[in-house]
Structures are given as C-alpha cells and as structure tokens.
Structure 1
Amino acid sequence: MAHPTMFDEDDPYLARVREICLALPGAAEKISHGRPNFFTRKVFAIFGGSLKGDHFAPVARNALLFLPDASERAALLEHERFFVPAYVGTNGWLGLSFHVIGGVERVDWAEVAELVDASYRNTAPARLVRELDAGA
C-alpha cells in the first residue's frame, strides 16, 4: 500500500527547500513515505516528518529533516526550533521546524542552506563533495 501524500506541492517552504537542495551536485528528489526526499546515493534532506507517538504534530509536519555534524547536534537542540524526529532521529538526524519559526519571511534561509550543506557533506559520495567544493 502506498503512503498518502503528506505535503502540499504549493507549500512556499517546500519551494525554498527544493531550490536549496536541488542546487547541489548530483541531487535529485523522490517522494518516499509520502514526503519529498532529497538524495544523491543517500537521502540528505527530507521535507516534513513526525514526532515519536504523534505522526501529525505541526512542529514536525512543516519542517526540514537533516543530518547535522555530530559535534553540532547538542548545540542545535538547545534552540526550540530544532527537534528529534521520529524514525531518523535515532540515526542522528534533526528537524528544523518552520512551524515554530513562523512565516517564510522569518526563516533564516542562509542557515537552512548551511544545514542542508552539512547534511549533504555527511551523506554524499566524496566525488560530489569535491565537485561542490570546486564550484564554491
């Protein structure tokens, strides 16, 4: 049985996340478990998620899930806009809640790009990371 779609294609947060993610070398998008996933060989960002025990929590449904550097994880969790998502959180992933931040204009999109960049570097093949660095 296929998962139901759990996002709105016209979501302005998704549009910005998609723009950031798909600008990276070798990045592509697929829908998995009802949500947009951005990947090279491995997934490096997911739009939307859930909390353990609450699959419909607003804080997670409208969020960016990413894999931060392990050394930064604890510091990020000190801020209310970050959370540990269900399923992938046990593997070190975090979520950035756009719901907590507020409107699209209030999001620090440079910070989002940095989080996506770190997650990409933690998951992408070395060849693609070199390509990213060569283009920077």
Structure 2
Amino acid sequence: MKKYFFVAAVAALALSSCSTITHTASTEAVDTEVYNRSNADLKVSPEKISYTFTPNNTYRRAGEKAVLRAAVAKALEANGNADVLVAPQYEVKKTRGLFSTKVKYVTVKGYPAKYTNVHPTTVTEAQVVNALK
C-alpha cells in the first residue's frame, strides 16, 4: 500500500507544473526639461595619451560598454586626473570562446581635458544659447 502511495505522490509531483505570473502596468509620459545653469571652460591638453587597460571579471560581467568606460576612467586617473577624454579612440582585443567573447584588453587614446572657470550662466551666454536653438 505504501508503495502505491509513494508512486502516486511522485506521479502527482511530476505532472504538476510551475506557472508564470505576468503583471502589466501602463505609464504616463512626463514632460520635463533639465537645465544646466553653469558654464565652464574646457582646457584640452595638446598631448595625446595612450593607456592599456586589462579588465578583471568584475568589469567583464558588466559588459563591453562598462569595460570601455572603466578604461577611460583609469586612463584619466593615470594621466594627471583629468575630467574628460576628448576624441577617444578604442582598440579592443577580444577572444572568442564557445559560448561567449571575452575582452582581453582595451587600449584607449585621446586628449585629456579639465574643466576650469566654472561659473553661473550670464545673460549674454544665455542669449547665445537661445539664439543657437
């Protein structure tokens, strides 16, 4: 009797299925605009830098774009702690596996630049921006 009960219980578990619940929602668009009320000068270095970044698994898991952003950040940090890299060029070395591709290294080249003279927008600067729109 116990044997039949056990077989029936296993059959009931095997025949039961998992279900998926899907929730939907509707969203409403919100019209917003972001204004930057500050201006700054950008001082670009005349010398082009080059930096080779070898990502670890943490960066690789985040995707190729994250690896490129990390390479730029490390390049700026290593070359004078600049704020932005102007005209970046990337050389990406990848290896292909059976199911995925792996970024071996990234060489990034560009001109480091720093923001200087950060100040509130003046009336004349605002008029120039409005004229360009």
TM-score by shorter chain over 0.5: no
Greater share of helix: 1
Q: Considering Cα pairs closer than 8 Å and 6+ residues apart, tell me whether 1 or 2 has the greater RCO.
A: 2
Larger Rg: 2
Q: TM-score, normalised by structure 1?
A: 0.23
Greater share of strand: 2
Q: TM-score, normalised by structure 2?
A: 0.24
